[in-house]
Amino acid sequence: MPTVTVSPGGTATTTLTVRNDGDIVEAYTLEVVGDCAAWSTVEPARVSLYPGTSETVTLTFAPPRSHEVRAGETPLAVRVLPAEHPESVVVPEGTVTVEPFHELRTELEPRRRRGWLGARFRTAVQNKGNTPIDVAFTGKQAGEELRLGFTPGQKQLEPGESAEIRLKVRAAKLIWFGEPVTWPFEVEAAEAVAAAGTASETTVGAAAGTTAGTAGAEAGGTKPVRPEPAPSDLLRPEPVPGEFLQLPVLPKWLLIVLAALLALLLAWFALVRPAVKSTAKQAATEAAQEEAARGGQQQGSPTPGGPDSPGGNQGQGTGPDAPGTPGGNGGSGAGPGTGTGPGGTGAGGTEQSSATIDVETNAGIEGVGTYKVPAGKVFGITDIVVANFQGDEGVLTISFGERKITTIALETFRNQDYHWVTPIQVPENATVTAAVTCAKPGTPATGTQASGCHQVINVSGVLSDLAR
């Protein structure tokens, strides 16, 4: 039989003539066998012939438009089986050519993604045609804001084969501030253009016969048949749309927060900080004024040497310059030490009192100044103020009677004060002693280095009568 050409999804027909060359009536059963049997039919499938007669049957081929029916030549065979003489079966053969068709199915997953600069997509493609094809992937966008890259960029697919292609979408530049921007794009899977399927007009003749005694069979006449036209091949699938939502690096809410922080910072420098500095400065000024007033009050108290002081002239002593004075002992070393007795006012045998001890000594020598508590009195000491106004270097030791209160390095201070909530009681005839060891005289405000060390110690508290 000659070759028959048919397009997938279409039909093609041909004829086959069966003649009985025998001498008896014979019934013939016709059946298409081989790979094309699933989509081929014979009409009529059974014929009965008198001796010497013939009949033409029609073969119809209708391959489905599917990747399962491969393009190319498919063997064709028709089995003609006599009912009375089955051993005389005849199988004429031919070829059916299935034309190629191209069809691609493309999907983009997901259709929409978001990111700061880029995102990744998956492009799934399947060859629904019946012939191998090379598929090239391309992407397009209305502007030039995106770059689209496929990995791999080209893929060969067998009929029915599927593949997944990675798509990377990248924006040309970052969006630092503002609203998110949506960039639409399209993905297209292109293939080589194939010729559209056409139906061919084919005339096929087939002969079949049985012999009964001397009977024979021969091919009968053929009849040309035009197959139904097949639908047009799909050369290029529709582009698949996708979207990339580009997010700003700094979201809108972050800008609001930064603006609020900046406003708070400006408010701090413009309003709060000056107020804090002003309050701190005022507090420091008030504290300094209070300290100066208290120091002036202590320095302005009547000294025991005055005519109105109850202990007048009893607390004054001048080391070697006044050895017989009951107020104190002279300073040992090169410089004298003097102490002025308590003075102040009070009622009921109790009075506020202060005493000043002035110690002068030369370098390398120890000087001692004392204040002696008057007889019949107890001195409750609450405050001590030490002045190193020259900036001398050395050691100062303060003692109440036999009790050492503190030892201070002179170079560590210019003015130093001590305060006690509970007064330190110094009994009658006991001494408050300030011992100065001069290492190096300092330089006072005049700018000329002093010849010796000079310290002034003020002791204040409550001077009360001794209970008898």
Name the least confident of 3-12, 103-112, 271-280, 455-464.
Answer: 271-280
pLDDT of residue 263: 87
Percent of the chain residues topping a pLDDT of 70? 78
pLDDT band with cut points at 50, 70 and 90 for residue 309? very low
- Sequence-distant (≥ 6) Cβ neighbours of residue 183 within 8 angstroms: 141, 145, 146, 169, 171, 243, 244, 245, 246
88 pLDDT above the threshold of 90: no
| Three-state DSSP state, 196 | coil
> CA-CA distance, 154 to 182, in Å (whole number)?
28
Tokens 């009912």, residue located: 83
> CA-CA distance, 323 to 460, in Å (whole number)?
25
* Top-ranked range on mean pLDDT: pick from 209-218, 247-256, 313-322, 360-369: 360-369
What's the mean pLDDT in 203-209? 32
pLDDT of residue 356: 94
217 pLDDT above the threshold of 70: no
Max CA pair span of the chain: 183
pLDDT of residue 233: 45
pLDDT of residue 376: 85
What's the mean pLDDT in 140-156? 86
- Whether the ω angle into residue 132 lies within 30 degrees of 0, i.e. cis, is no
- Token couple for 430: 């006991």
- Dihedral pair phi/psi, residue 255, rounded to 5°: -65, -40
| E strand or H helix that includes residue 73 | strand 72-82
What's the mean pLDDT in 162-175? 89
Closest to 191 in 3D by CA, of 159, 220, 221: 159
Name the least confident of 52-66, 179-193, 230-244.
Answer: 230-244
Other CB atoms within a 10 A radius of the CB of residue 252 amount to 11
395 pLDDT above the threshold of 90: yes
- Token couple for 122: 């998956």
- Dihedral pair phi/psi, residue 443, rounded to 5°: -115, 115
412 pLDDT above the threshold of 80: yes
- Dihedral pair phi/psi, residue 368, rounded to 5°: -130, 130
425 pLDDT above the threshold of 60: yes
pLDDT of residue 210: 33
Cβ atoms of 385 and 423 within 8 Å: the answer is no
pLDDT band with cut points at 50, 70 and 90 for residue 306? very low
> CA-CA distance, 200 to 202, in Å (whole number)?
6
> CA-CA distance, 284 to 300, in Å (whole number)?
24
234 pLDDT above the threshold of 60: no
DSSP annotation of 39 reads G
β-bridge pairing 93-98 and 4-6: parallel
Query: What is the reported pTM?
Result: 0.43
pLDDT band with cut points at 50, 70 and 90 for residue 121? very high
pLDDT band with cut points at 50, 70 and 90 for residue 348? low
pLDDT of residue 350: 85
Name the least confident of 68-82, 288-302, 379-393, 426-440.
Answer: 288-302
pLDDT of residue 458: 94
Region of 291 on the Ramachandran plot (φ > 0 left; ψ -120 to 50 alpha; else beta): alpha
> CA-CA distance, 55 to 194, in Å (whole number)?
40
**Who wins on pLDDT, 189 or 276?**
189
What's the mean pLDDT in 212-225? 33
pLDDT of residue 7: 92
User: CB-hemisphere CA count at 13 Å for 181?
Assistant: 16
Name the least confident of 82-86, 247-251, 289-293, 433-437.
Answer: 289-293
The mean predicted confidence, pLDDT, of the chain is 78
> CA-CA distance, 23 to 434, in Å (whole number)?
163
Name the least confident of 27-41, 140-154, 171-185, 301-315.
Answer: 301-315
pLDDT of residue 10: 92
Other CB atoms within a 10 A radius of the CB of residue 250 amount to 13
